[in-house]
Each structure stands twice: as C-alpha cells, then as structure tokens.
DNA sequence: TTCTAATCGAGACGGTACGTCCCGTCTTGCC
DNA sequence: GGCAAGACGGGACGTACCGTCTCGATTAGAA
C-alpha cells in the first residue's frame, strides 16, 4: 500500500499516477513518526488515529488515504520496522557462536519497545484476521526462520550437526524461548542467559537429530 | 474481586453484605458463559460488554457490579479458566516421560481457543497495565513454572540431572517453544513434535548444566 | 418522536418503557434550548450537531437518540415552535378588523428570528424531502389557512362577503405578502403596512368574488 | 466575478492576462451545465463542488479559479439564470391585462425548477450573508419590483389608478402570492388563479389608494 | 516559431462535521 | 439492596466535503 517506492521517494512522492496527485513523502513520514511515538506511549489498543493525526499535524483523511484502517496502518508500520532490521544469517564458523549471534539478534529486535508493543498487540488480532496472520508469518516469522535454517545448514556443512537434524525445531528453539521471555514474561535476557540457551539448543539439536 | 467465595456459592449468592442483597450466582454464571462465548466468536479487542450483557440477558450494570472494567472481567475469567485446569506435576518416574507429559499438558490448555484468544489479547495490554502483568505472571505463569521446577527436581533426585541444572531454563524450554508455536505461529503440535521437543529439552538441560 | 408526552413530562421523563430507561426531560430541554440558540446564531446550514451537543453539555448520542438526523431534529423543533403558537381565528365582529388581527398574528410569529431562520432553512430542503414538505404543510401551513378560512366564513355569515368568495385566495393573501416581505425581502412591516394590506385584501376578496 | 465578458467570449476565452493563459470558455460552460444539472438533482444543500467537477470532467481548482466558494458560484449562476429572463414591463394598454401578463411572467420564471431550487436554497443563507442578500435584492427582486412600479405608473397615466396608490404594495401583491404559492406551498397556479389574482389585486390597489 | 506563463485534470492536503459504536456511570421502577 | 433496561457524557471510528495546494501536461498569447 504505502510501501514507499524508492524511485518515487527520491522525487518526494510515493505514487505516480498519470495526471493525478501523489501521496507526499513528507506527510507519510510525519504520520509514521507520530504513529510510532503514540504507539510507544499508549500501546496499540489505546492508540487513536485522531491522536496520530493531531501529533503529525495532519488531517485524519491523510491517514485513511494511505491505510484503510487503524489495524492496516499498524500492520504496515510493523512490517516496515521489522524489514528495516532484517536478520542476516550469522556466519561465525561455529554452530555455538552462530547460535549466540542469532539469539542476540532476536533479542536486539525485540528490545525495541515499539516493535514489542505492536507485535504483542497484533497477536491479539491474528485470530480474527487471516490476512494479518499471513503478513506476520510471511514478513516477520519467515525471514527469522530462514536465518535459523541457514544457521543449521551451515553447521551440517561443517559436520557439526547430522543432516537429519530437525530444521523446524531449530527455528523454534532460536526464537521461542527468547521471544516468550521478552514478549510475554516481560523478563530480561542477559548475555549469560543467551550463552546458556545457546548451549542447550546446540545439545538439543544434536540429541533430537539422532 | 468477584472470585466466588465457595461458601457463599453453596447458598446461591456470592457476597454477603450486611442488610443488603447479594450478587446472584445465576446472573454471574450467565455472564461468564456469555463472555466466553463472545470471546470465542469475536476475540478480546472486538468483544463488547454490551454484547455480553445482551447475550446473558442481563443489564450492563450487573457486569460492572462484579468487575470494574472490561479488562478486569477478562482477567478474572481467564484466571478462572486456567485455575480450573491447574497443572499437576507429572511423576512418571523418568525425566523424558515427565517432559512429554508436561508438554502435553501445556498443549492441552492452549488448545482451548478461548484461553488462547484471551491470553493473546491480554498480552497486548500487559505493557500498559502492571496489575494485569502481575496477575498473568502469578496466576498463569508461576504454577506452570512451578510444575517445571518440580519436574526438574524429581529428575535431580533420581540422578538423571545434575543438581547444577538451570531451573529457569527448564521452565522456559517447557513452555516457550510450544506456546510460541501455538499462540503466535498458529502452528500445530502433534505427538511427534512433542516427542522431539522432549528429547531436545532433555539433552539441552543436561548440556547446559555442565 | 420526541414530542414530549405531558404525563411523562410531569414525571421527568418522556417515554415509559416497562423496565427500560426513558429519555430525560432535562436533557431534552437542554438540547432544545441549545439548538434554538445555535440556530439563532448561525442558521440552519452552518449549525452543527456537535456545537449543539457541546452547548447543551450533552453527548452527541443524546441528540441522535431523540432524532435520527440533524434535519429530523430541526423539523421537530420548528414543529414545536409553531405549534406552541397556534393561531386562533380572530373574531372581532368585522372583516376588516379580523384581517388586521390575522395579519398581526402572522407578523408576530414570523418576527421570531429563530422561527424565521428555521423556516427559511427548511424551504431549501422541501424539494428533496417529501416528508418534510408534508410536515410543513400540515403543521405550519394548514392551521394558518384554516384560520383564514374561518375568518372568511365569519364574514360571509355576517353578510360582508358573498358566499362565492375564493377561500384559497383569502388564505394566500393573508399569508403571502407578509410572509414574502418578512422572510424573503427581509423587509419590515409596520402597522400602517398591515392596515393598508387589510384594506387591499378586503377589497380584493369582494372584487374577486363577483 | 466570472461574469463572462462578451468580447472575450467571442474569442473563446474570458479574461486576458499579459503573457498568461485565460480561463477557457469550454471549461466554464461545462461547469455551468454540470452545476445546474447537479442542482436540479440534489438541491443546493446536498450539492457538492466535487460532484460538479466530476460531472464536468474538470478539476476542482477550475471551479475555484472562477468562483471563490460554493455559495459564490451558486449566486453567480442564479444571477445569470434570472438575468437571462429579465422581466419586461408589459404594456397591454389596460391595468387588468398588464397585471395578468406580469403574473404570468413571474409564474414562468418560478416554474423553472432549478431557479426555484436555488432561490429556495439561497433564502436559507440570506440571514448569514449580507452580500448574498444584497445580490438577491438587487439582481432578482429589484427588476421585478421595477416592472411592477412601471405597470402601476402606466395605470396612473391612463387614469385607471389614482396617483396616491401605494407602489410598494403593488409590487408585493404581484410577486408575493404567486411566489409563496409556488416556492413555499409547492402549489400550482393555473390561468384561473392568475385571473382571480389579477382581479383581486386591481381592486385592492384601488381600495388602498383612497 | 519559440518562449513562457497561466490553465488544465487529478487528486492530496488540513480541517470540520457527520452519524455510529462502545466505554463505564447513572437513573428508573420492579422485586 | 440487586436487577433489566437503557439513557447518560465522552471519545474514537471511518466517511464526505470544504477550500487550498501540488503535480506534470497542455495551450495560447507575446516575442
């Protein structure tokens, strides 16, 4: 929808319609910034489109011209936020350090309070909205699972893991304990926890592969 | 709040106020049933107190006489729902089978769609409401962590795990991968997954304890 | 719709539903007063429901609980205003003085700036809304035409006018020149004008009857 | 404002600016036509500038380049409409037939539904806008009153009316009953009504002059 | 003919008001 | 006092227009 086209953005607009008017990047930026700020202050449920518009110095219609609903806007914003921080598959040369790097990467992204807030909020909507669920899976979860898969593959190639290892399990173990702890338990996860977790995951993967 | 006093309940009322009338159990039950039904149909965010009252054939005031807010009601309801299904520490005589039983227990509770819906919904509010966070931790998370701790202690007593094992890690590993998968990824978790997970956790705990 | 039932009004409410809640007279009164005030200040087209609600210290919903739209509200209010000032057929014993009294009565009602404002405003809507047109004719115009008819009949009974006189013409002549002058030309109409008009109408009726 | 300059119109443009472009007659015509059509369909209050622009296949700016507001446009359009049908003072040689001709002329103009619609709509605005009121009086009412005055003067010159006759009364009687009937009562006015009215006015003027 | 400036269609912009929905509270009359 | 019904003040929703502004693409008068 409002995923800015890079070419257009250089021209200060986002869409090019022959003879028509284009959404203005400055306005989109102001809205985006205001939305993230409101989100950080009040959370998804309490956030109002009117407050975002007011904060951005923008009419409500400018929001609805870009997104068809409050939820649509948040979905798009979180998509941008997580895409801007795409996880790179770490390649440190050893499974253990790869795991540690991956866990640190997940932690780093979830430590952003706005990302955490929006993800938590969207979880509540997933059941009601298949499109939202798909987006979350595709844009948020898949790249992270892919990174986990790559990490496992590299370990197999190095001979650290047998080829029979369960790749899905690997993805779950890299994301879930940390995610659960940070998003749900509101718990902290220091370097020691990550180190312990990396050790456990490594052993778990090897054991489950047999 | 409205946590029904057992004594009063046997008398058909819930609270006893000197000289006044008591909240009627029939009304409370009708509300509870209606609330769970609405919850299952529309989810937390879209659920309205007015719809609950209408469905229960009850005035809105009857709801607010029992709970001080929509969120308060849901918190209380989910508390009841999870307390009705308190996890017993499994004692099968072996760590692996204990883990398998615990994972199955977690799966069983999260398989209830209303429980899943409310939990997901409440996650969104956790950041804004410390009391809610506390309740969720105390009533929902702690008993489950306690069960995981007991399971680990039994394994230590049997000599299956060294005494140095990380109990917190154990709790995380029992709850998180399954919870993440079911609540967030909307994924399924069949017996094979649980078996694999149990194997991985067992190995992970042993490795991390060293 | 909100035409207050006298019985209920004495009880402070307007509608009585078994077991239900009734619209409160105090609120209705506050809205009515605020609406007339806004009307007088800004006119129909520029008047906003939000301003009325604000001025009345009332939620917008309170307005829409009583009337289904801005226009519906105004129609109802003007109906009340003109019904509260129903014209009595004058009976002074002579056609000329009856005419003079009738003209003065019309002038008195149109001199109310809120009545004048609302009538002018509603005229603009008449074409688009048959129900509104009907209401205006039935509630506003008919009683006034009936008064004119009675006046003519009395004159016939007294022998001042022949039985063949055109009653419709009489009604037009009593209402139209004054109404046009006051509503449309924004002109004033002093006693001398009324006297002249009464003389002209009397002669006109006699001439047209022949 | 945008009252087309006849000279420029012959050249296909309306205004001449040094070095620049002029408002194009084709565009103005398309707007005018679309505006009257929208007016006829939806009335003044419900008519939107956006709908006019869309219907005319024109940008909104083209409208606002010509008129400064919706009301300004309508005022201008109705001015054109009534000026295109300027009343000529009838001169049939007798007061009665002059009156009959004048009444028929008024009827003819008010029978145009767009004219009737716009006049009704503008009445609602008169109180709020002095300039509009002035325009309506000057452009719409004055020529008609002037025609009535001329008619009366001719009758005086012929000796049909005494010099003391009230000219204002004459104008009121020629315009008001018909206008009221047609604009406000939505009533019809056939030839018989006009004949009766002419008779009554003639007698009324003579009586009131004494 | 070439330059150049205002007009053009399209529609985004900041606003205001619409009529709707729901929150949590209050009011009424019955039990 | 609880209860059913639902009105209350409040606030956000998403929509429709207002009158203005911004594009790039004509278009026509002046050079």
Cα–Cα distance measured from residue C145 to residue C176, given in angstroms and rounded to the nearest whole number: 11
What does the pLDDT read at residue A1? 41
Task: Give burial (CB, 10 Å; 0-12/13-18/19+) of C61.
Answer: exposed
Is some CB atom of chain A closer than 8 A to the CB atom of B195? Answer: no
Q: Which of B117, B177, B186 is nearest residue A176 as measured by Cβ atoms?
A: B177
B2 in contact with nucleic chain F (CB within 7 A): no
What does the pLDDT read at residue C14? 58
The mean of the pLDDT values for chain D is 83
Residue nearest to nucleotide E7 (CA to C1'): D21
Q: Where are the alpha helices (DSSP H) in A19-112?
A: 25-46, 49-56, 60-66, 70-83, 95-110
Cα–Cα distance measured from residue B11 to residue B32, given in angstroms and rounded to the nearest whole number: 19
Cα–Cα distance measured from residue A122 to residue B158, given in angstroms and rounded to the nearest whole number: 44
Give how far Cα B60 sits from Cα of B29, B31, B50, B51, D133, Å.
15, 10, 6, 9, 53
Q: What is the pLDDT of residues A27-76, one digit of tens each?
A: 999 999 999 999 888 877 789 999 999 999 999 999 999 999 998 898 88
Cα–Cα distance measured from residue D75 to residue D71, given in angstroms and rounded to the nearest whole number: 6
Q: Quick one: average pLDDT of D44-65?
A: 94
Cα–Cα distance measured from residue B141 to residue B146, given in angstroms and rounded to the nearest whole number: 9
User: Which bases of strand E have any atom within 7 Å of the beta carbon of a protein residue?
Assistant: 4-30
Q: Which of B137, B193, B201 is nearest residue A185 as measured by Cβ atoms?
A: B137
Q: What is the pLDDT of residues D3-25, one digit of tens each?
A: 434 444 444 455 444 556 788 89
What does the pLDDT read at residue B44? 75
What does the pLDDT read at residue D128? 65
Cα–Cα distance measured from residue C185 to residue D78, given in angstroms and rounded to the nearest whole number: 17
CA nearest neighbour of D24 among D75, D54, D65: D65
Chains that touch B (3 or more CB pairs under 8 A): A
As a dihedral over the C-alpha atoms of residue D186, residue D192, residue D196, residue D202, rounded to 10 degrees, the angle is: 100
Is some CB atom of chain C closer than 8 A to the CB atom of D148? Answer: no
Cα–Cα distance measured from residue B30 to residue B34, given in angstroms and rounded to the nearest whole number: 6
Q: What is the pLDDT of residues B91-122, one digit of tens each?
A: 899 999 999 999 998 898 888 877 777 777 77
Return the minimum-mean-pLDDT range out of B64-68, C109-113, C123-127. Answer: C123-127
Cα–Cα distance measured from residue C169 to residue C152, given in angstroms and rounded to the nearest whole number: 10
Return the minimum-mean-pLDDT range out of B7-11, B138-142, C144-148, C159-163. Answer: B7-11
Beta-bridge partners for A36: none
Is some CB atom of chain A closer than 8 A to the CB atom of B181? Answer: yes
What does the pLDDT read at residue B18? 52
Stronger pLDDT, B162 or A83, i.e. the higher one: B162
Cα–Cα distance measured from residue C52 to residue C50, given in angstroms and rounded to the nearest whole number: 5
DSSP state of C93: S
Task: Name the one residue in this structure whose structure tokens are 């029979």.
Answer: A164
Q: Quick one: average pLDDT of C161-186?
A: 87
What does the pLDDT read at residue D6? 40
User: C196, D208: Cβ pair inside 8 Å?
Assistant: yes
Task: Name the one residue in this structure whose structure tokens are 């009583």.
Answer: C66
Stronger pLDDT, C11 or D196, i.e. the higher one: D196
Q: At what angle do helices B113-126 and B70-83 cross, to 10 degrees?
A: 130
Residues of D (45-74) placing their beta carbon closer than 7 angstroms to any atom of strand E are 56-62, 65
User: A133, B186: Cβ pair inside 8 Å?
Assistant: yes
User: B173, A200: Cβ pair inside 8 Å?
Assistant: yes
Cβ pair D115, D43 in contact under 8 A: no
What does the pLDDT read at residue D150? 92
What does the pLDDT read at residue A109? 83
CA nearest neighbour of A117 among A58, A51, A47, A60: A47
C51 in contact with nucleic chain E (CB within 7 A): yes
Cα–Cα distance measured from residue B91 to residue B101, given in angstroms and rounded to the nearest whole number: 9
Task: Name the one residue in this structure whose structure tokens are 């909100």.
Answer: C2
Nearest CA in chain B to A203: B204
Q: Quick one: average pLDDT of D137-161?
A: 88
Q: What is the 3-state secondary structure (H, E, C) of C9-25?
A: HHCCECCCCCCCCCCEH
User: C123, D123: Cβ pair inside 8 Å?
Assistant: yes
What does the pLDDT read at residue C24? 94
User: A184, B185: Cβ pair inside 8 Å?
Assistant: no
Q: Quick one: average pLDDT of B9-35?
A: 73
Q: Do chains C and D touch (3 or more CB pairs under 8 A)?
A: yes
Return the minimum-mean-pLDDT range out of A53-62, A71-80, C171-180, D159-168. Answer: A71-80
What does chain A come to in residues? 210
Please say if the pLDDT value at position D194 is more than 90: yes
What does the pLDDT read at residue A3? 41
What does the pLDDT read at residue C155? 95
Nearest CA in chain A to B193: A169
What does the pLDDT read at residue B51? 96
CA of C31 to C1' of F9 (A): 13
Segment-wise mean pLDDT, segments of 10 residues, chain A, 210 residues: 41 54 93 92 86 97 95 84 73 94 89 77 68 75 86 94 90 88 80 94 91
Please say if the pLDDT value at position D179 is more than 90: no
What does the pLDDT read at residue A120? 75
- Phi, psi (5° rounding) for residue D133? -60, -45
Provide CB contacts within 8 A for C55, sequence distance 6+: C34, C37, C38
CA nearest neighbour of C153 among C104, D197, C145: C145
Cβ pair A67, A32 in contact under 8 A: no
What does the pLDDT read at residue A138? 80
Nearest CA in chain D to C205: D200
Please say if the pLDDT value at position B8 is more than 60: no
What does the pLDDT read at residue C205? 95
What does the pLDDT read at residue C19? 58
Task: Name the one residue in this structure whose structure tokens are 């595709």.
Answer: A138
- The b-or-e profile of A186-209 (16+ CB within 10 A means b, else e) is beebeeebbebbbbbbbbbbbbbb
Cα–Cα distance measured from residue B183 to residue B112, given in angstroms and rounded to the nearest whole number: 11
What does the pLDDT read at residue C135? 75
CA of D18 to C1' of E6 (A): 10
Query: Confidence band (pLDDT; 50, 70, 90) for C45?
Result: confident
């Amino acid at each position: 929808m409002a995923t800015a086209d890079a070419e257009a953005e250089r021209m200060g607009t986002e869409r090019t319609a022959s003879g028509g008017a284009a959404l203005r990047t400055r306005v989109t930026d102001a809205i985006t910034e205001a939305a993230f700020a409101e989100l950080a202050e009040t959370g998804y449920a309490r956030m109002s489109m009117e407050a975002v518009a007011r904060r951005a110095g923008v009419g409500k219609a400018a929001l609805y011209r870009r997104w068809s609903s409050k939820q649509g806007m948040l979905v798009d914003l979180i998509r941008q936020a997580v895409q801007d921080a795409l996880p790179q598959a770490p390649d440190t040369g050893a499974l253990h350090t790869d795991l540690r790097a991956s866990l640190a990467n997940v932690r780093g992204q979830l430590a952003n309070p706005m990302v955490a807030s929006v993800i938590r909020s969207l979880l509540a909507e997933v059941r009601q909205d298949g499109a939202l669920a798909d987006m979350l899976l595709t844009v948020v979860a898949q790249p992270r699972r892919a990174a986990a898969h790559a990490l496992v593959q590299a370990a197999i190639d190095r001979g650290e893991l047998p080829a029979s290892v369960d790749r899905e399990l690997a993805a779950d173990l890299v994301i879930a304990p940390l995610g659960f702890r940070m998003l749900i338990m509101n718990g902290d996860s220091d370097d020691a926890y990550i180190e312990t977790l990396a050790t456990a995951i490594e052993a778990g993967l090897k054991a489950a592969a047999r």
